[in-house]
A and B are shown apart, each in its own frame.
Chain A
């Protein structure tokens, strides 16, 4: 009879409130541990944005977070839970690293697009497998993508330690041979602006991917179909949109975003593939997507926030002597509050409408 009020729960209010809440609660932890919360957060902020160099380093962390965040978000839009962004990132990195090192003498105009394609395709195939298993066999994508995350880690051990990708004269951390100069994403910040900045063209690719994410979901027939499957699977099915096909497609797209993240880490930052490379981005991605409400701008902002936590937390420890674990506490609290949103909604509904019947 009556729409539940609390329309504000739909906008950015919940993410903003949850971040603030988490910061306050995190500050409380700092205070209990005998430090000054203001000092701690000031150090964190300085670490993340204190100088042009700090900003460029923060952005560098935001790039893979943004892309894996988009990966999780696109799957969410179609009603699937992609826990496998980490694995898809690694497959993209391996594919890009292999292509980049295989033909090191090719000119950039050929090798860079090839490397890019290899990264995206690698991730897409890996994600697509999980989608296909769900569509054809009804296997829960949460389970398969988690298992895939482990699979690629062990495949990488083999590839890099005594397999075909092992660099001939690598010592220390197992790693692949370096990629050719043509596969490298150039640094886009000139030295006179930010001395020795590492910020590469990958940041532009990530922004382009964000636009592509928006365009796909809200401007194409396929995107409409994905959203329809996510919001009303049976309605979509009876209208002739086969949810199973869309599951495979969306998981491949999700894998593509994560694979691009892997390619950018190789081509822009490390110029080779290391064992144990870029750990953790794909998991933070779930938080990034949730906090960003699976919306393009939201994911960009929350990727920046998590990048700032990560960069600032490290400096907070070295400068102010406050454990960087504080950052983990704050991140966990953010997630906690976001997860509690469903509870808040349920309570709001209970308050908003009268009790209907007794039993």
Chain B
């Protein structure tokens, strides 16, 4: 195999964006018929490298050879011509058109008249060959994300691509959809296609890839054969140091801190978002709320905080009903909130780090006295919290909008966790963060649990839920289908529950509070 000419060979690729050296002398060798994982932290340069291969960026230095011939790829058109196709993270489909119409879009053969039968037949043929299931006559707006992604794959195959680049393809999928995707990827390999998979999820690398190229800070960190490596080894290459073990589970949980019963609430569009939620979280306990995004998790968090009016039901925090309190009152009872979208809900981006630390505390000591801000105290506390929560750079005066995602989230945590809350509602606290930042967030949450804080952890990352939670509740269409002890919550079972299969509960562990 090593003697064969690689299908993709990139040598000494460098790319600079202003001050930032995004890539420095990076090599990438991919063999025909391989599933090649390109892994690295956020900002490691994996997407930049693939954008160069796909012709979206031009490299400052280095050569790219496709099938042994030096290639000058000036744009996606050149890339497509060379048989390179990209499946983007954000789908580029036309919702009112059918699956088949989207597949042929921009490449309608046979004149201006659309031969619906003909294209549907051709698309079906492709589907059969690559084991991809998607009804060619279904409208895109009616099919789930997993199927939309298959359409993106079909589009690329339809254009005759031999090399398929997948950019973080599993971000929006349920566990079952991920399995289906990997099955498709294996079939592609079986049909002689070459797959490059951009990801930072080690599990996926181990599950599906043949070779791994690890980038760190724009440089090659490792080139590995999957069967001869371990997740730990890849992680060390990605992060540049050993990962810390997640702390052992704490002792027995204490009193019930959060108690939700019979909670119903409308969605923004008017229909019901929550249809009778019963849930309890005890002191010193993390309850994970699993579910595919959009099944009412965010609405539940908003109800607890007082950002959304409940239509019926009770929410008690420390025994007091807070269902009709506004966020100001709820927070005064010791409720902290890590919102889903830190850039819109978590932070005031044009404010400085220090100013963001005092959001919601701007009218009380030590930050204010009789309505007058105390600039010295705000700066001093800002500097202290920035250091304590490892915000980089640890400058209280820097604008939060200029920080990286991980550092922005540290500012949110610094604000929310610094006053010993009784209850933390954390909604997707590690979304979009890299391994090091994710690890940091997890450690801080576990610290709070050992301190005796009750934590409701909402996440669509099953690994995160299973690693951190003491009990796991699965939400589907505004209901909690089951609450399982972490030990009984296998991935299969959670996956089925997330897809709405109640029968997966098995020996039902009950949905009663606590």
Of A113-121, A131-139, A174-182, A351-359, the one touching chain B: A351-359
Q: Which of A175-228 contact B (CB under 8 A)?
A: 218-225, 227-228
Counting CB contacts under 8 A, is B305 at the interface? yes
Stretch at the interface among B182-190, B340-348, B380-388, B471-479: B340-348
- If the complex has contacts A3-B402, A235-B344, A238-B307, are A225 and B362 also in contact, measured as CB distance less than 8 A? yes
- Residues from chain A with a CB closer than 8 A to the CB of B112 are none
A residues in contact with B48, CB < 8 Å: 1
Q: Which residue of A lies closest to B332 (CB)?
A: A240
Whether the Cβ atoms of A235 and B18 lie closer than 8 Å is no
**Size of chain A's interface in residues, with CB distance under 8 A?**
32
B407-448 with Cβ < 8 A to chain A: none
B360 touches A241 (CB 8 A): yes
- Is there contact, CB below 8 Å, between B328 and A219? no
A242 touches B88 (CB 8 A): no
Question: What residue of chain A has the Cβ atom nearest to residue B361's Cβ?
Answer: A239
Which of A2, A224, A242 sits near B328, CB closer than 8 Å? A242
Chain A residues lying within 8 Å of B495, measured Cβ to Cβ, are none
Among B26-73, those with CB < 8 Å from A are 43, 48, 56-57
Give the distance to chain A from B334, nearest Cβ to Cβ, in Å.
13
Q: Chain A residues with Cβ under 8 A from B371's Cβ? A: 220-222
- Across the two chains, which residue of chain A brings its CB closest to B358? A224
With A3-B402, A220-B373, A232-B349 known as contacts, the answer to whether A239 contacts B57 (CB < 8 A) is: no
Docked Cα-Cα span, A133 to B445, in Å, equals 42
* Residues of chain B within 8 A of A235, CB atoms compared: 339, 344-348, 359
B56 partner, pick from A232, A236, A240, A357, beta carbons under 8 A = A357
Q: Please indicate the chain A residues that have their CB under 8 angstroms from the CB of B372 in the complex.
A: 219-221
**Complexed CA–CA distance, A74 and B17 (Å):** 38
The answer to whether B348 and A2 touch across the interface, beta carbons within 8 angstroms, is no
Q: How far is the CA of A239 from the CA of B328 in the complex (A)?
A: 7
Residues of A within 8 A of B362 (CB): 221, 224-225, 228, 241
Number of A-B contacts (CB under 8 A): 98
- CB distance A238 to B350 under 8 Å? no
A232 touching B17 in the complex, CB below 8 Å, given contacts A224-B362, A239-B331, A355-B56: no
A237 to B43, CA, bound (A): 31
Give the interface centre of B18, B19, B337 by most chain A CB atoms within 10 Å.
B18
The interface residues of chain A lying within 8 Å CB-to-CB of B368 are 220-221
Given contacts A224-B355, A224-B373, contact A239 B360 (CB under 8 A): yes
Q: Which of B18, B90, B327 contacts A238 (CB 8 A)?
A: B327
- Kindly state whether residue B326 has any CB partner on chain A within 8 Å: yes
B92 at the interface (CB under 8 A from A): yes
User: A219 CA to B374 CA in the complex, in Å?
Assistant: 8
The contact of B348 among A1, A221, A232, by CB within 8 Å, is A232
Between A1, A241, A356, the greatest number of chain B beta carbons within 10 A of the residue's beta carbon is seen for: A1
Q: Which residue of A lies closest to B344 (CB)?
A: A234
B350 nearest in chain A by CB position: A231
Residue of chain A at shortest CB distance from B42: A1
Q: A1-B22, A3-B402, A220-B373 are in contact. Are A242 and B326 (CB under 8 A)?
A: yes
A238 near B328 with CB under 8 A, answer no
Query: B18, A240: Cβ atoms under 8 Å?
Result: no
B76 contacts chain A at the CB level, 8 A cutoff? yes
A5 within 8 A of partner (CB): yes
Closest chain-A Cβ to B168's Cβ sits at a distance in Å of 13
Cα separation A269 to B388 with both chains bound (whole Å): 58
Q: Cβ of B20 < 8 Å from any Cβ of A?
A: yes
Residues of A within 8 Å of B350, CB to CB, are 231-232
The closest CB in chain A to the CB of B348 belongs to: A232
Verify A236–B359 contact, CB threshold 8 A. yes
Could you say which residues of chain A place their CB within 8 Å of the CB of B25?
Answer: none
CA distance A55 to B105 in the complex (A): 69
B142 close to A (CB within 8 Å): no
B90: min CB distance to chain A, Å: 8
Q: Does B363 contact A (CB under 8 A)?
A: yes
Q: A2 vs B22: C-alpha distance in the bound complex, in angstroms?
A: 10
- Report the separation of the CA atoms of residues A225 and B348 in the bound assembly, to the nearest whole angstrom: 11
B506 to chain A, nearest CB (A): 38
A1 to B359, Cβ gap below 8 A?
no
State A335–B347 Cα separation when bound (angstroms): 32
Given A232-B344, A239-B327, A239-B360: A354 in contact with B17 (beta carbons within 8 A): yes
B130 contacts A by Cβ under 8 Å? no
Verify B348–A236 contact, CB threshold 8 A: yes
In Å, the complex CA distance between A137 and B34 comes to 61
B351 at interface, CB cutoff 8 A: yes
**A314 CB to closest chain B CB, in angstroms?**
41
User: What CA separation (Å) do A220 and B48 show in the bound complex?
Assistant: 45
Give A234's nearest chain B residue, CB to CB.
Answer: B345
When the two chains form the complex, which single residue of A218, A238, A353, A359 contacts B337, counting CB atoms closer than 8 Å?
Answer: A238
User: A220-B373, A241-B328 are known contacts. Are A1 and B344 too (CB-CB below 8 A)?
Assistant: no
By a CB distance below 8 angstroms, the chain A residues around B359 are 228, 235-236, 239, 241
- CB-based contact B307/A221 at 8 Å: no
Q: Say yes or no: B76 contacts A240, CB within 8 Å.
A: no
Contacts A1-B20, A234-B345, A236-B348 given; indicate if A357 touches B373 (C-beta within 8 A). Answer: no
**Could you tell me the distance between the alpha carbons of A236 and B329 in the complex, rounded to whole angstroms?**
14
Minimum Cβ distance to chain A for residue B91 (Å): 10
Given the complex, which residues of B lie within 8 Å of A225, measured CB to CB?
362-363
Q: What separation, in Å, do the CA atoms of A241 and B360 have in the docked complex?
A: 6
Bound state CA distance, A242 and B330, in angstroms? 13
Give the chain B neighbours of A237 by CB distance below 8 A.
307, 327
Contacts A220-B373, A231-B349, A232-B349 hold; do A2 and B18 have CB atoms under 8 A apart? yes
Q: Closest Cβ of chain B: how far from A306's Cβ, in Å?
A: 27
A358 & B56 in contact (Cβ 8 Å cutoff): yes
Contact A221 B363 (CB under 8 A): yes
Measured between beta carbons, the chain B residues less than 8 angstroms from A218 are 373
Chain A residues 1-28 with CB under 8 Å of chain B are 1-3, 5
Question: Roughly how many angstroms separate A223 CA and B368 CA in the complex, as a whole number?
Answer: 12
Q: Are A238 and B305 in contact (CB under 8 A)?
A: yes
CA distance A3 to B19 in the complex (A): 10
Contact A240–B327 (Cβ < 8 Å): yes
A236 to B348, CA, bound (A): 8
Q: Which residue of A lies closest to B363 (CB)?
A: A221
Cβ–Cβ contact B92 & A359, under 8 A: yes
A2-B18, A224-B373 as given contacts; A232 in contact with B328, CB under 8 Å: no
Beta-carbon contacts of A96-120 to B below 8 Å, as 1s and 0s? 0000000000000000000000000
Of the candidates B17, B350, B359, the one having the most CB atoms from chain A within 10 angstroms of its own CB is: B359
Do A232 and B347 contact each other (CB < 8 Å), given the known contacts A221-B368, A237-B327, A242-B326?
yes
29 pairs across A/B with beta carbons < 8 Å?
Answer: A2-B17, A220-B372, A221-B362, A221-B371, A224-B355, A224-B373, A225-B363, A227-B351, A228-B348, A232-B350, A235-B347, A235-B359, A237-B307, A237-B327, A238-B307, A238-B327, A239-B327, A239-B360, A240-B326, A240-B327, A240-B328, A240-B329, A240-B331, A241-B328, A241-B360, A354-B56, A358-B56, A358-B76, A359-B92
Q: Which 8 A-B pairs have the closest CB atoms?
A: A239-B360, A240-B328, A232-B348, A221-B363, A240-B327, A239-B359, A224-B362, A2-B17
Residue ranges of B at the interface with A (Cβ–Cβ < 8 Å): 17-20, 22, 43, 48, 56-57, 76, 88, 90, 92, 305, 307, 326-332, 337, 339, 344-351, 355, 358-360, 362-363, 368, 371-373, 375, 402
